[in-house]
Amino acid sequence: MLLEIRGISVRIKDRIIVDDVSFEVGDHDIYMVIGPNGAGKTTLFKAIMGLVPRKGKVLLDGTDIRTFRPGELAKKIGMLAQSHQPQFAYSVYDVVSLVRYSYQGGIFRKLTGQDKQKIEEALALTGMESMKDQSVLTLSGGELQRAFLAQLFAQDPQVLILDEPVSHLDLQYQIAVFDILSRWVREKRRAVIASVHDLNTVYTYGTRAMLINRGRVHAEGTVEEVLDKDNLKSVYNVDVAEWMKNLLEHWK
Amino acid sequence: MTRFGGHMDKSGTAGKLKKRTKTFLLAVFSILLFLLVFNSSVLIGSIGFSPDYTIRIILKHFFGAGDISDIPDSAATIILNVRMPRVILSAMVGAALSLAGAAMQGLLKNPLADGSTLGISSGGALGAVISIVLGINIPLFPQAGLAIMSILASFLSLMFILALTYKIDYNLSNHTIILTGVIFSMLAGSITSLLVSLSGNNLRQVVFWSMGSFSGKGWSHVALMLPFFLAGSLPLTFLSRELNAFSLGEEQAGFIGVDIKKVKFAILILVSVLVGASVAVGGTIGFVGLVIPHITRFITGPDHRKLLPFSVLFGSSFLMAADLLSRTVLSPAEIPIGVVTSLVGGILFIYIFYSKMNVRR
């Protein structure tokens, strides 16, 4: 297994936000984490990254990721935060190139040819080439998300953890992002973990999934298993299949 | 395979060349500005001197070159022993405060952070006054004891303010941290004033610790400030990339591989050294660390690799000029330098802040 999450729990004061969550992510997986607002998806991701105090273990290729130094970890796991609020007028290129930090040695940490190539590729992949000199303060929510997505691709890690990567994006870019991700993940020793609200996206792109509710794993397995009618009904309190079928009527 | 639209920009190399030329010209301009302000500050005062005096006296005194027999002894003494140390000291303090402000703003991703808005200066002043009142000294280095107490108090204040803000608001948002800083600043300031009054010192001392002044400062103060200035500023400039990462948010810095805890701790210590030592020699001088990085960022962009060195140049020029104003405007009386910096800085800050808000709208 590429990534093993074992018994992750997060407690903030007296509240248990994430309760004993375990799952495994293999090569080429696009692992979808779904669940209602406040289910603990973001906290789970932060806990995996070690950003909040947690119990449990995260193993990458069998090695506890706590043993990695921050720079090493950045080459292996990258995370996209749910939202970004930049305060300073960095250009898109500055933001993307910053991510090569962990690859650069020496005091002056100059960008090498390889760094520049990775940055250009990432900008091209996310369609941010033409905006690379623009200040991030002038970008729309979707453009900003793409800029940070470009940063993530330039970081070139093995595992991408994406907290609602498409929530700010219009339909065209939602599709484009997951198309890119499914191509990206085809290479050896790569995997994606993403939280998504749109269940159609989960069906279309997900290889495995987890349904999380109130911090606990409600269902885990293949996408079909997880998106089971009863599972969804008990968590969302909506007959999702019925609702989707009704929606489909509009498109006939 | 869907691919986003977008066309290649081939003007990369030419753009970079232009950028470099711009940076070079800016460097030349700011160094000339620094030299001009330095020279003017040394020459202008209750007694004015001919513009060539500074360079000739420096050459003669420090390098043994040239002839200054036509310069009256009294003039040479005033320039060498009164004006020059004071000007150099104000330049160092201006540079230190600007660097500290720029670093805090980057670290906390908060454009309003600064030694004075966060209350670090007031904390440092309190530490210095406690050391005076309690007579805490380091044998052989009586002045260093004051500076070290001030640095220590600055660091403790900073830790206290950050810890308190974290408790209230995990995200350390702009308003919470500034509010905490202002409240802490008022508290520390009033305790300082109380201690000064109780110890039987005069009002001048209270004004010094609350408004700052370089009046009567000599070479011994320059010697005191210099090691702390170097120890604080040089390592900071090597942390420019980390500061860039923090400017995008602490979590984001962690994602890209910055050792957050270590780097943050290092920056907080360096900032405390710069602010604490500045307070020990010049009192609390507000707004420099807020305004100078703002103006500099406006000119150079937010990249700390440029922002920090240019903040040093602009900050030192600014405080030398402010000191010049403080001792000449109402001559022979002196205005506390904090009044000048807050007046100039405050107005400038309102302007910048207001125009920025308008752009965003």
Closest residue, chain A, to B252 (C-alpha) = A81
Q: Do B254 and A90 touch (CB under 8 A)?
A: no
Query: What pLDDT score does A50 carry?
Result: 86
Q: Do A127 and B6 touch (CB under 8 A)?
A: yes
Q: In terms of Cα–Cα distance, which of B94, B345, B321, B315 is closest to B225? A: B94
pLDDT tens-place string over residues A213-242: 999 999 999 999 999 888 999 998 888 888
Query: What pLDDT score does B77 carry?
Result: 87
Q: Which of B3, B9, B241 sits opposite A132 (nearest CB)?
A: B9
To the nearest whole angstrom, how far is the Cα of A6 from the nearest Cα of chain B? 21
Q: Do B6 and A81 touch (CB under 8 A)?
A: no
Q: Do B260 and A70 touch (CB under 8 A)?
A: yes
H-helix or E-strand containing A20?
A: strand A15-25
Apex A201 CA angle, A198 and A203, nearest 5:
115
Reduced to 3 states, what is the DSSP secondary structure of residue A167? Answer: coil
Q: Do A176 and B6 touch (CB under 8 A)?
A: no
Q: Do B8 and A75 touch (CB under 8 A)?
A: no
Q: Residue A122 CB: number of other CB atoms within 10 A?
A: 23
To the nearest whole angstrom, how far is the Cα of A205 from the nearest Cα of chain B? 13
Q: Do A88 and B110 touch (CB under 8 A)?
A: no
Q: Residue B355 CB: number of other CB atoms within 10 A?
A: 11
Q: Do B297 and A175 touch (CB under 8 A)?
A: no
Whole-angstrom Cα distance, residue A64 to residue B286? 48
The pLDDT confidence band at residue A191, using thresholds 50, 70 and 90, is very high
The pLDDT confidence band at residue A187, using thresholds 50, 70 and 90, is confident
Q: Is B255 on the interface with A (CB under 8 A)?
A: yes
CB contact at 8 A, B103 and B271: yes
Query: What pLDDT score does B141 carry?
Result: 67
Q: Which of A79, A98, A183 sits opposite B1 (nearest CB)?
A: A183
Q: Is B241 on the interface with A (CB under 8 A)?
A: yes
User: Which of A45, A87, A184 would you mutate first to test chain B, the one with the most B CBs within 10 A?
Assistant: A87
Reduced to 3 states, what is the DSSP secondary structure of residue A42? Answer: helix
Query: What pLDDT score does B7 carry?
Result: 41
Query: What pLDDT score does B356 carry?
Result: 63
Amino acid at B310: F
Q: Do A78 and B255 touch (CB under 8 A)?
A: yes
Q: Is B4 on the interface with A (CB under 8 A)?
A: yes
Query: What pLDDT score does B257 carry?
Result: 87
Query: What pLDDT score does A244 carry?
Result: 87
Q: Is B73 on the interface with A (CB under 8 A)?
A: no
Whole-angstrom Cα distance, residue B213 to residue B323? 8
Whether the per-residue pLDDT at A77 is higher than 80: the answer is: yes
Q: Is B109 on the interface with A (CB under 8 A)?
A: yes
- Structure tokens that stand for B68 in this block: 């200054």
Residue ranges in chain B whose pLDDT is less than 50: 1-3, 5-11, 360-361
To the nearest whole angstrom, how far is the Cα of A53 from the nearest Cα of chain B? 14
Q: Is B235 on the interface with A (CB under 8 A)?
A: no
Closest residue, chain B, to A87 (C-alpha) = B109
Q: Do A126 and B4 touch (CB under 8 A)?
A: yes
- Round the average pLDDT of chain A to a whole number and report it: 90
Per residue, the 3-state secondary structure of chain B, as one string, reads CCCCCCCCCCCHHHHHHHHHHHHHHHHHHHHHHHHHHHHHHHHCCCCCCCCCHHHHHHHHHHHCCCCCCCCCHHHHHHHHHHHHHHHHHHHHHHHHHHHHHHHHHHHCCCCCCCCCCCCHHHHHHHHHHHHHHCCCCECCEHHHHHHHHHHHHHHHHHHHHHHHHHHHCCCCCHHHHHHHHHHHHHHHHHHHHHHHHHCCCCHHHHHHHHHCCCCCCCHHHHHHHHHHHHHHHHHHHCCHHHHHHHHCCHHHHHHCCCCHHHHHHHHHHHHHHHHHHHHHHHCCCCCHHHHHHHHHHHHHCCCHHHHHHHHHHHHHHHHHHHHHHHHHCCCCCCCCHHHHHHHHHHHHHHHHHHHHHHHHC
Query: What pLDDT score does B215 carry?
Result: 86
The model's pTM is 0.88
Whole-angstrom Cα distance, residue B145 to residue B78? 29
Q: Do A129 and B8 touch (CB under 8 A)?
A: yes
Whole-angstrom Cα distance, residue B303 to residue B234? 17
Q: Do A94 and B297 touch (CB under 8 A)?
A: no
What residues in A contact B258, CB-CB < 8 Å?
70, 101
Reduced to 3 states, what is the DSSP secondary structure of residue A7? Answer: strand
Q: Is B298 on the interface with A (CB under 8 A)?
A: no
